[in-house]
Structure 1
Amino acid sequence: MPDWSYRTIFRPLLFRLSAERARDFTLHAMGLISKLPGGSLLIRTLGHMESYPILESKMSAVHIKYPVGVSGALDIHGSAPRALAQFGLGFMEIGPVTLHPVSSNMSIRREVSNEALLYPTPYANDGVDVVEERLKDRRNYPLPLMIRTRHTSASTPVEALEEQQQLIERLSPYADALYLDVIDRGWTLEETVCYCEDAARMAHSINKDFPVFIYVTLDCPQQWLEQLAARADFHLLQGMVIGEAIHTADGDLIGKEGKALSLERVRLVREIAGDSLIIVAAGGVHEPLDALELMDAGANYVQLHSGLVYSGPGLPKRINEAIIYKRIESADHEPLPLRNGHFQHSIDAAALMKLPSFWQGWGWMWLLGLGMVIGGILAWIIAATSVVLPYDIRFLGIGRESMENLNERLLPFMSHDRVTLAGTMISIGILYAQLARYGLGKGLHWSKTALFISCLVGFSSFFLYLGYGYFDPLHGLVAILLLPMFILSMRTKANRPSLDPPNLVNDRSWRLAQWGQLMFVSLGSALAVGGITISFIGVTDVFVATDLAYLCTTPEFLAMYNERLVPLIAHDRAGFGGALFSNALVLLTIALWGINQGQRWLWWTLLAGGMPGFIAGFSVHAVIGYTDFWHLLPAYFACVLYVLGLIFLYPYLMSGRRITRKKDPFGRLQAP
């Protein structure tokens, strides 16, 4: 459920349900998909979060792949941990976990205007027995687990410590780190500090390297927080988690407004405790800009909750991309140490800026694209004039005159197949050349994957020409000439993060872009289905009902006149289907993985890449008089998706030079 489907389709539908039903339905659906064969791969493919060393870190002794985690209260019943792990998250909180279940007979409420969730029963959970049983199958939890333990409300410190001992003993075999949820308004500060240290000693007696963090509520009184940060023994306690909930008379409020408090608390703790303390901030992260501001204030990691509900499951990826860009932008040739000394990578900005040269690989793909464009133009000219080539005539054993005498619409019909194929070839060539220049040329992994998949399908589809025993020497020659270019282009190393400023806010252009992305994903999917269908028809029935109505004949009559006539037409149809499928794959991959703010080249690529195909298809049908509405309906539908996609994507992809009021952390102008 990526953002382009969540924001446009699923969120409006889910928000018609109660918050609890929507949450349970979504998590159970994602959990079910992740358990199917290939389900996790599907979720990961739709999101395509790439991993880079500059994102990796150590949270004490725990290796963290991404600096973004997820709150345990979001999936309190553990319905979809494996699915959530595919979103670009680096760790997962489990909890709160109490010794006995805490149930609620009141429903969770949304406050959409404030982008908040109200949980009427604090610390609701299934209890340690259920959680322990769930955690036994660690395969469902591929991320590092931060287990948050909580004593029963109204317990004395002694009673709470006894509960913590049982919780730690039972849950430590499954935990990578422990969050001690310690703040109890009924205790004194001295009791709280002693309780934290005693619980930490318990954990370390089980595992001396076990990282232990204090978990404090977002609305923890400032005086308490100051004293706790100053007096706690951080040799025993490795860090602090600034929580996500604000306690109210109606329950725990978790939402966007929590960011202000979170920033204030993070700055305070960082100032008092210094750089040695690890800080996890969990409140109010709804946009990448929120995460960057919290990290600028002193947080090492962020955790998500309400942000995933209101912004969408693509939020972790967007945050990771923003962090990558900022770290690269601020790096030089010296190692870049982050706070607490637990993370240190040498980011060689010069090496990242050094892009592949033309002949190192990407130039070959650009030449392949150029060759496809030139070949498509020549094929269009031939298809619009003579239609058949000398080797076609030799294969048939009859000339143009005989074909015209047989059926005056036969050559126009063949022209319509060949012109649409030519337009598709030009579209593919434009997409390949642009992806080579701006994708492979910048070392972007997704562009190499897109080109590899599309080219592999395209070259393989050559064998469809042989479905009826007809070998096309021109297509064979073109394949022989272009195949080495494809192979040489795949030498390009495509393992660099994007050096372009990422999107930071959920503004209007970003929201419109989700609709634009949906349009192009739908277009790519529709073209893929169309390509497969046309190829299948081309090697089986060859004609559809509207074709025969236009020709006013039957396949049997054509075969009776010349047994090689149908195989020649089949070769055209199968070839067009294969080319359309190849085109669809590269377009679909661009739509899934390549849509990023300010990518002007991508908008022009989509515009230029789509026009030849649509112009060829509509013009040739109009010229030959094959204008049956039902035959052209799929093309009309595809054209509507194409135009709407370009309109919706324009503000987002073409942004970057607007005169606005405010600058983001990159110095880039943002919407007011």
Structure 2
Amino acid sequence: MPENVRARRSAYERVVRPALYRLGKGDAEVAHEQTLAGLRLLGRIPGAPRAGARLYGVPGAARTVFGVRFPSPVGLAAGMDKNGVALRAWPAIGFGFVEVGTVTAHPQPGNEKPRLFRLVEHEAVINRMGFNNLGSAALAERLAAYGDLGYPLGISIGKSKITPLDEAVEDYVTSLRRLYRYGDYFAVNVSSPNTPGLRELQDAGHLRELLTALHAEAAALTVSGLAPKPILVKIAPDLTTTAIDELLQVCTDTGVAGIIATNTTITRAGVAEHPLAAETGGLSGRPLTDVSAKIVAHIHGETGGALPVIGVGGIVDPSDAHRLFDAGASLVQVYTGLIYKGPGLIRQINRSLP
């Protein structure tokens, strides 16, 4: 590792990260919002995103996956910038693509606070945010104002909390319809543990109905003049192998373009003794490193590599990203690792790409 990268990481971990943790008397969500505010300002500085992309990115790392060209295979996972407020800034710290959301048809405040917890000793986070977002109509308006971002944008769509499970399909379809012209791919989130009943949509029957409806809507929008967009499914790390295989069959049958593996876990393996382990919500970060790699490898093997995978979960150093690539991931996404290691992590991954 180059010495200047090592120093940058150290500076973040020794100075920047502790300062962020002190914001709001240690409230993790306050630190999150302040970070987004700072990035939003960075994105407004003329030339800053392009200069940052040159510093943190890497020439020649581009690849095309499910018909979309990605300038780098390292992306920002959904959940960090739900409402797309800092989209101009993310390339400045090396991301080759960004996934916004998860967004819902109805605006919603999410679950009661506090709802975001750092397990620092384990480089992990527990969240029960509950899809707090301004709604898909507001996101569409924001994306229209941005215009061309210059990089691929994924949009994660989910079910509104107020929508009954038997009306979930129309909820997803509404968001897809509103946002279709703005996304380069769409991620169908049926795996968050923080919306009651949502994970039931991973069951084969529910999922087939949902994906059939989304593809029908996409086809209708394409007929109206919009370009076809890939639809992906994001799965939970807590599924059994049998459940994953059933899900993959549905995805293959309905023309899904790829899988995002994985979302957060409801298990507490590796952190059970931590005082915050009893908090409800999804666990992310280092405890998912092994799990996500195994699931990516299983999907890659089961589909013979025909179904591209975006690997996410437990990327806290470059070797974790390479482990997912070696397991068969075409792209990777980072979220919790960015919290603990800062933008230096993205540069390190980019610089270590073959």
TM tier relative to shorter chain: 0.7 to 0.9
Residue in structure 1 matched with residue 301 of structure 2 by the alignment: 271
Mapped contact 2:173–2:213 kept (Cα < 8 A): no
Cα distance, 1:49 vs. partner? Answer: 2.5
Q: Which runs of 4 or more aligned residues in structure 1 lie more than 6 Å from their structure 2 counterparts after TM superposition?
A: none
Structure-to-structure mapping, 1:525-604, within 5 angstroms: none
Question: Matches of 1:83 and 1:319 in 2, distance apart?
Answer: 18
For structure 2, the residue ranges without an aligned partner over 5 or more in a row are 192-197, 268-278
Cα distance, 1:234 vs. partner? Answer: 5.6
**Structure whose residues are more often strand by fraction:** 2
Q: Is structure 2 residue 33 aligned with structure 1 residue 24?
A: yes
User: Is the partner of 2:160 in helix, strand or coil?
Assistant: coil
Residue in structure 2 matched with residue 225 of structure 1 by the alignment: 244
Question: Matches of 1:231 and 1:256 in 2, distance apart?
Answer: 30
AA partner of residue 98 (structure 1):
T
Q: Is structure 2 residue 136 aligned with structure 1 residue 128?
A: yes
Cα distance, 1:157 vs. partner? Answer: 5.9
Mapped contact 1:34–1:43 kept (Cα < 8 A): no
Seen in structure 2, the aligned counterparts of structure 1 residues 58 and 157 have a Cα distance that, compared at 3 Å, is farther
TM norm structure 2: 0.83
Q: Is structure 2 residue 66 aligned with structure 1 residue 60?
A: yes
Cα distance, 1:77 vs. partner? Answer: 3.6
Question: Matches of 2:253 and 2:89 in 1, distance apart?
Answer: 34
AA partner of residue 200 (structure 1):
H
Seen in structure 2, the aligned counterparts of structure 1 residues 251 and 286 have a Cα distance that, compared at 3 Å, is same
Residue in structure 1 matched with residue 291 of structure 2 by the alignment: 261
Mapped contact 1:197–1:233 kept (Cα < 8 A): no
Residue in structure 1 matched with residue 104 of structure 2 by the alignment: 98
TM norm structure 1: 0.45
Question: Matches of 2:148 and 2:33 in 1, distance apart?
Answer: 18
Question: Matches of 2:74 and 2:340 in 1, distance apart?
Answer: 17
Alignment match of 1:194 (pick from 204, 209, 226):
209
Structure-to-structure mapping, 1:444-463, within 5 angstroms: none
Question: Matches of 1:105 and 1:130 in 2, distance apart?
Answer: 22
Residue in structure 2 matched with residue 424 of structure 1 by the alignment: none
Deviations along 1:248-270, one digit per CA (max 9) or x if unpaired, are: 66112221111111012111111
User: Is the partner of 1:197 in helix, strand or coil?
Assistant: helix
| Aligned CA-pair RMSD | 2.3
Deviations along 1:33-78, one digit per CA (max 9) or x if unpaired, are: 2212343355446x343311xx211121211110111012012243
Deviations along 1:208-231, one digit per CA (max 9) or x if unpaired, are: 631111111232343221211134
Question: Matches of 1:185 and 1:178 in 2, distance apart?
Answer: 18
User: Is the partner of 2:69 in helix, strand or coil?
Assistant: strand
AA partner of residue 105 (structure 1):
E
Seen in structure 2, the aligned counterparts of structure 1 residues 276 and 196 have a Cα distance that, compared at 3 Å, is same
Structure-to-structure mapping, 1:269-668, within 5 angstroms: 269-324=299-354
AA partner of residue 179 (structure 1):
A
Residue in structure 1 matched with residue 263 of structure 2 by the alignment: 244
Cα distance, 1:124 vs. partner? Answer: 2.4
**Structure whose residues are more often helix by fraction:** 1
Question: Matches of 1:196 and 1:212 in 2, distance apart?
Answer: 9
Question: Matches of 2:107 and 2:28 in 1, distance apart?
Answer: 21
Residue in structure 1 matched with residue 49 of structure 2 by the alignment: 40
Mapped contact 1:135–1:174 kept (Cα < 8 A): yes
AA partner of residue 352 (structure 2):
A
Seen in structure 2, the aligned counterparts of structure 1 residues 20 and 310 have a Cα distance that, compared at 3 Å, is same
Higher-Rg structure is 1
Seen in structure 2, the aligned counterparts of structure 1 residues 235 and 77 have a Cα distance that, compared at 3 Å, is closer
Seen in structure 2, the aligned counterparts of structure 1 residues 182 and 202 have a Cα distance that, compared at 3 Å, is farther
Residue in structure 1 matched with residue 95 of structure 2 by the alignment: 89
User: Is the partner of 1:277 in helix, strand or coil?
Assistant: coil
Question: Matches of 1:322 and 1:290 in 2, distance apart?
Answer: 12
For structure 1, the residue ranges without an aligned partner over 5 or more in a row are 325-672
AA partner of residue 125 (structure 2):
L
Residue in structure 1 matched with residue 194 of structure 2 by the alignment: none
Seen in structure 2, the aligned counterparts of structure 1 residues 72 and 302 have a Cα distance that, compared at 3 Å, is same
Cα distance, 1:82 vs. partner? Answer: 1.5
Identity of aligned residues (%): 27
Cα distance, 1:88 vs. partner? Answer: 1.9
Seen in structure 2, the aligned counterparts of structure 1 residues 312 and 212 have a Cα distance that, compared at 3 Å, is same
Cα distance, 1:247 vs. partner? Answer: 3.0
Structure with greater contact order relative to length (CA < 8 Å, sep ≥ 6): 2
Deviations along 1:545-577, one digit per CA (max 9) or x if unpaired, are: xxxxxxxxxxxxxxxxxxxxxxxxxxxxxxxxx
Alignment match of 2:58 (pick from 44, 50, 65):
50
User: Is the partner of 1:101 in helix, strand or coil?
Assistant: coil
AA partner of residue 168 (structure 1):
L
